[in-house]
Structure 1
Amino acid sequence: MSRLITASRFFLWLAILGVSCAMLIAAGFYLHLRPGLPPVHQLLDTRLQTPLRIYTSDDALIAEFGEKRRTPVTIDQIPERQLQAFLAAEDSRFYEHFGVDIIGLTRAAVELASTGEIQSGGSTITMQVAKNYFLTRDRTFARKFNEILLALQIEQELTKQQILQLYLNKIYLGNRAYGLAAAAQVYYGKSVEDLDLAQMAMLAGLPKAPSAFNPLANPERALTRRNWIIGRMLDLGYIQPDDYETAINAPLTAHYNAPKTEVSGDYVAEMARSEMVARYGEAAYNDGFRVTLTVKSENQTAATSALQAGLEAYDRRHGYRGPVDTSDVVPADEDAYREALDNHPKVEELYPVLVISIDEDEQNAKVYSRHLGEGFIPFEAMTWARPYRSVNSVGPEPSKVSDVLSVGDIVYARREPTATEAAPLTEDGESVTDSLAAEPVPVIKPVAMSLSQIPDVQGALVSLDARNGAILALSGGYSFSQTKYNRATQAMRQPGSIFKPFIYLAALEQGMTPATIYNDAPIVQETESMEPGWRPKNAGGEFRGPTRLREALYRSRNLVSIRLLQDLGIGTTIDYLRQLDIPTDHLNRDLSLALGSGSMTPMDMARAFAVVANGGYDVHPYLIQSIEDSEGRLLFEAPPAILCDSDCDQLRESTPTVEVGFPAIRVAERLANARAVYILHSMLKDVIKQGTGTAAQVLERDDLAGKTGTTNEQKDAWFSGFNHELATTTWVGFDQPATLGAREFGSTAALPVWIDYMRVALEDMPAANMEQPPGIVRVRIDPNTGERASPGQENAVFEIFREENQPEERASNGLSGDSEDANLPRNLF
């Protein structure tokens, strides 16, 4: 008996010694590690890595940038059942323990002792918060001890609800989704509150191993994990048996959902991203900035559609260039079809398709698309496809399908919507599934399509608020996915005749009038700076003789413009262009300047016309309206533009700054005489009423003015048009300058794009005409001489003048407008 007591005492003291040693070791670790532990209160101030999001002025999402997709939510926004699903999966005793689950840790210790490795970890949700926010993912004992210490601190300083909120916003759930809200969107395209029980359990199964239990990568393992969690929820009393049966039998409904952008505006999104990185560096991608642009969603959608439609229309006019590729067709082998299409991406709304058969009656071509499955292209959807021969000629119109397509051809086609279809498609062309239904919503097959092709030609559209320079819409090419090159801001192109209004404005400022007569006749210049025997001519080659400046502008007469520049002086004109803040570095210093030689970007041109549109005030394009941080605090707001006629420097100096380099207002000083600009408005309205821009009359507005532009050999086609509030420029051409074709001009290639866009942009906008400034008079003139008309002259027309430049009164001498032109000015010679 004494031996038993002695042995018991020995083992008791041994146990006490072991516990004491363990406590001493633990205390030693605590004293060693405690000074290096971060303060827990930092958790409440932690900035989660949240992507940069860019919105239109009317709050439509354009783009999202950042490695991690995250949308922080509060605990109140998360349904109770979703919380219970995570507790069942990760930490069912969460509300009972003090941050550390002794049972879980004991299990982990046994695994370490028996295998030499920590396998399950035994981490509580609180410990995972400590690890995710403060620690590395190294599976070491030291890191685990730090995790335990931090968990104990967190539980002392934060509530359980705060801990859960931190956890559910931080955890990685696969497919670049960080946090519960992002995962709900990625896997189901839903907000957190809209998930059903099966979907909640699926998301709750992801933290343990986001790759292994991912429903997209490993659906079978994900289903097993989901059903286990549903069973745990039943065992824990979180759900009823009926709920269990419904959820356990629900099909997998997860599919990848790309960020849902609401507006097609990749070019403006990239411009905004670049500016944000310039301001904030790499933090732009992670700090959750919300950027609101000046772009209107309706305008931007219209700009993208109008430019794409215009480029496709040009492309069709010049014929079908044939298939983009060919492949051997193995009948009924869908895998082979998909493989043949692998190297051909979808471009905007154009799908790559493989021709797999042609009907015997040659009325349809059967095609396969990896996005849409089987479809068909009817013959009537390819009658446009006359074979391309050169930029100026096409072959005969096809009479049957085989004139255009052959089995094995890979071509691009546009999906034609039909009234019989039962379901919409996602952005990638996949059928949308109803996540609450047992089966996907079907799409009626085969899908009707129309033959198309990706245009070789490119273009740009820039639309500005003329009053302040805000960019209302911008498109820099047919497809951003093809090339990131933004032609609206980067393409230096020859402006051609679209440049003439600025030469005319210089002339009006110097006292010339719309009635000033110039001779539209041949001219030959021999100068060192110009090619020998330079013989400029008008489009069409004809000459009209004595011509008023108004008529010369709306008919875009080249010879008049050259003579006008010759009288103004090249140096004087360049100085005036600088006064208008038009870039002159790439403009020619010779008479070809009158014809728009040199180069400018579409943005430069749009801004220059905005100055004309607003009455002569200096404005500069800007894109970002405001920037907010992740908490919704306003960091920057674009200052309003104040139009200034005098004492602008004093106004500018008295303006306080709200951010370094950003004043509280932007002073837009006058650059051009208001009366000269008003007269130019009138002259450019005639471009639409009776000149090269008459197609714009389809908009049925009386406040529109503009100018077409076509360069030598039709390499660039332009149209800039405006009213007093809105200025829009369109350009069409090839990236590597080449002729658009002998029958392509600004009026045929660029103006239709402008019309399609402005039809939307001007909808519901009241007429916006420039108010007539003081000192303008309206006088009847002789259209042949530009002088004041004789009393009773039948062919007299009204013209507007600056008061001091109006024609002098003349005595009636019985001469009519058909009299000898004895008093015609020297400009004719």
Structure 2
Amino acid sequence: MSNDEILRSNRHRKSGGGQPPKPKKKRKLTRKRVLWTLFFTMALAIFCALGGYLFITINGEKLLTENEGKLTVNPTTKIYDRNANQIAELALEKSDPVESDKIPQIIKDAFVATEDKRFYEHQGVDLWSIGRAAVKDVIARSMVEGGSTITQQLAKNIFLTRDKTFFRKATEMSIAMALERHKSKDEIITLYLNRINFGGTVYGIKAASEHYFGVSNLNELKLWQIATLAAMPKGPSRYNPLRNPELSKERRGVVLQLMNEQGYITQEEMNQAKVINYNYKPPATKQKYQAFIDYVIDEAENKYGLTEDDLNIGGYKIYTTMDKDAQTTVENAFADADNFEKSVDDEPVQGSMVIINQETGGIVALMGGRNYEKKGFSRVNDSRRSPGSSIKPIVSYAPAIESGKFSMDSQISNAKQCFGDYCPTNLHGYSNTISMSEALTKSENIPAVWLLSQIGVGTGYDFAKKLGIGVGDNDRNLSLALGGMEKGTNTLEMAQAYTAFATGGEERQAYAIKSIADSTGETAYKANTTAERVMKESTAYQMTEMMQEVVQSGTGKKAKIDRPVAGKTGTTQSGYSGVSSNRDVWFVGYTPELTAAVWMGYDNPDRKHLLKNSSPLAAAFWGKVMGEVVKNYPEKSFPKPDNLDIPKPSEQVTEQVQAVTGLTAAYESSTGTVNLAWNPVTGEGKEYRVYRKETSEADFTQLVSTLSPNAADIGAMAGLTYEYYVTVYDPATGTESDPSNTATILIEGAEPSPSPSPSPSVEPSPSPDQGARGGPEQTVPGGDNGGGTDNGNGNGGGNVDGNGNGNGNGNGNGNGNGNGNGNGNGNQGGGELPVTTTPSPSPAASPADGAAAGGAAVPETDTQNVTGGADAGVVTQ
């Protein structure tokens, strides 16, 4: 016996028992026992399957009988504003059912080819399609293909519930099989076409034809229109031709391809129908709050997985963040044509605006365009454009302060320089250093790019991404500092990003839906309002301090209202050589209560469709709207951190590169070259860059780079006059010096052709309403002894006219000083004029430039060409 058995025996004797119990014998697993077990298991499974099938079949027959004639079983879905006031009801748009003989066969063929090519072969459930879809889903590890037949889709409409359960799917199958037992294939496809959702609240093929094409008689639909409608069941919102014409056209091409492959249309018919562009505009309908309502429906679909069909028939109650007064103010502003630049033709200047309550993240109001139509194209999130200088606080200034190496009091580089091959320029001139606050206020370009180069492009890129800006992989370059982005951004992203400055460094995901209650009144979905800290309090505080100055005395002055305002302008230039107009204008700003972003521009900018105005246009619109909206909000102050300690910057500005002196030029007739020489500078590894301009040319261009203090121009032509200057480039710091003195030489030989007289870059007199508006300061050269008059009270020793002729005191609106002999300084101010301002790489300028500077004023703008990114040369500050 084992030790355990002996112990048990002893315990048994001590307790007075008799013999210890014998251990139980294990029952052997025989073949007969296994077979009987399998038999009963299979019998039970078959019984359950038969019972389940019988129940589903009977239930399918019952549901089909009860619901076949109904379109909805719940009350309509209702939408409420932030105070629980009803603002909308999703009433279904449907027409009377169309008889089968009134539906052309090509329409039926298009839907069969697209949705269920084995429609005429299966009995309601296509096991082959289900299996194929399952295999693809397994391979892709996600739901990439559905297995529902047209009959099942019809069954889903008949069952009228949207719970995502196995029972619902099984019920769909049971109704589908019941349909196949009671209806012919033609009856099924006809019923399907009369009930299916075509986006929004539109149901049925005839209602869709009328809504999207204005066609009541289905026989009048063209092939491309039929294919457009057949493309919609896969994604009624995504492939809505009114809202997403390009995606709709792309999906239409897939439908036509399927129809061709299955023999319904020819190759020629397919090709013709593929290329037609959708341009139908439905009759204008006036529905208050329509843009916001459409955004709410999109958010319910994208964030909570509810389809438009679910919402239409689900009997939901949707509680939103909309402020009715604010939304009405925005809609009225967009309806007023005086708030927008007048278009050159029938294509209007467009715009978008988003207002967010930064304390909650709730969207207070929005508008996606002028004359917005239900389910129309929304520029709030469907369009992406270059943000220009409005991105500077996000990618350059804030991350630089966040690094601890800089503060708003830092002196940063403002010297003319290149960063490798990237050479941005300033609109308002250059200096060795500039304070960070002044650089942002004046919207200078060099400091923003220099800061990004100092902290690293990756740091600025990651900071922008953390704030919700949709930067792409190709945006990782220094042009990002000036808005150089491959795809751009939108007003929703920009407004959300700026909320972090307004709240002291915390950001909440912007949302429009607070909660959704189902038909029983239970809360089915609720917004997440958790805040994330994205920057230090001290960083947000310093950014707010600097951006308040932008509004008080910088490029954003027209956004002033009765509340404290901080913000930043942005402008994108045309991208066309010699064209000074703009593609995009922005203003993004915030009060202590609300944050808002405004964009204006043409949807399809080209040489003809460009803005003559710059960012003050958007700033003025922002101020007009927000001045009214904030009246309904208790006045607050911007947050200020306790025990604020702004650290002294530990990193100093890179020392300016020494400029070249003593440049001389001499023409050697025997070799036909211009020999240039200059005094060498100290230091190792310096590179000399030689620039040349023929006097009839507008700008200098780089001629050659050399490591020696001399160079030769072998391309100079006889009879012409050339100007040269030299700079020093330091590869170690990526910094370029100021230009040297200019050397001018006339190439001897043939009779020189006269050079055209340079024309003023500024119109000589402003319109009456322009003189009162301020412009940025800019140092410009004066002219030779001359005289000229303009309106205002500028003065100087010899203000000149456009030709630099005459003698006397000039009077210019905007405090212009012109010191004769061509060395004067004109401190420009006054009004905004539609002018072309082209920064020159040389500090020298023509007398005409000086004359213009002393008289009329330059526009208050922050435009500046940049290179880099996908839109090199188009995207600007």
* TM band (smaller chain): 0.3 to 0.5
Bigger proportion of residues as helix: 1
TM-score of the superposition, structure 1-length normalised?
Answer: 0.44
